[in-house]
Amino acid sequence: MNEPMSFYIRVVQALDEINAPYMLVGAFAGLPFGITRTTADIDILVDLKEENIDALANLFPLPRYYADPEMMRSSMAMGIMFNIIDSSLGVKADLVPLKREPRYQAAFDRRIRRRFVFGDTTFDVWCAQPSDIIIGKLEAWTEGRSSKHPNDIFEMLTFELSGLSSRQIDQQAIEIAASRLGLETLKLWKDLVIRAEQTAQSS
């Protein structure tokens, strides 16, 4: 396992250890659901309570780590993303207060426990449902048009349509969300479904 991945796992396990509510989102969360690209970062939605903050900071002490409890308190109060940094590796984990993304509350409420396997390391985490991961990626594509999001969605759809996923993707809910994001996003979603169906049928 590469060193950045070990750090990401350490952050997630720390949140579990202190019983802090969290949910993995983005490409990292999609790894068990068919995404194959190596992601260079991790995004974690958190709902830290006051008692979680010092406990989390204590697990990442100076000088190797930067996890300032006062910065965490300020970020949680204002709904601003903050980081835990491993200065030895030069990597960081991005933690996003749930307060900043209130539209994710429903997704947070239905988050699931999922097993991740990296080499010889196996661990369980709280992550978004695959349908919610896809909706988040459609939102990100609508904002920035990055090709990585359609590619990730296509892989997740193909994975599920090939019978490889234990979680069903709610295509109807995603189509409703895509239509709210605009005609281009809705067309992208429909095109990805067709491509994924064709790929799954031919495999």
pLDDT value for 37: 86
CA-based nearest residue to 104, from 49, 181, 165, 22: 22
Strand locations in the chain, DSSP E? Answer: 22-25, 43-46, 65-66, 82-86, 91-97, 112-118, 121-127
User: Who's near 147: CB < 8 A, 6+ residues apart?
Assistant: none
pLDDT value for 40: 67
Walk me through the domains of the chain, giving residue ranges and CATH numbers.
3-127 (3.30.460), 130-202 (no CATH)
pLDDT value for 70: 96
User: Who's near 174: CB < 8 A, 6+ residues apart?
Assistant: 131, 134, 135, 138, 189
Mean pLDDT, residues 53-57 = 97
pLDDT value for 47: 96
pLDDT in tens, 1-27: 578 888 999 999 999 999 999 999 999
Count of beta carbons in the 10 Å neighbourhood of residue 41: 13
Does residue 104 carry a pLDDT above 70? yes
The more confidently predicted of residues 70 and 120 is 70
Question: The whole model's pTM is what?
Answer: 0.91
Does residue 72 carry a pLDDT above 90? yes
Does residue 74 carry a pLDDT above 60? yes
> How far apart, in Å, do the first and last CA atoms of the chain sit?
30
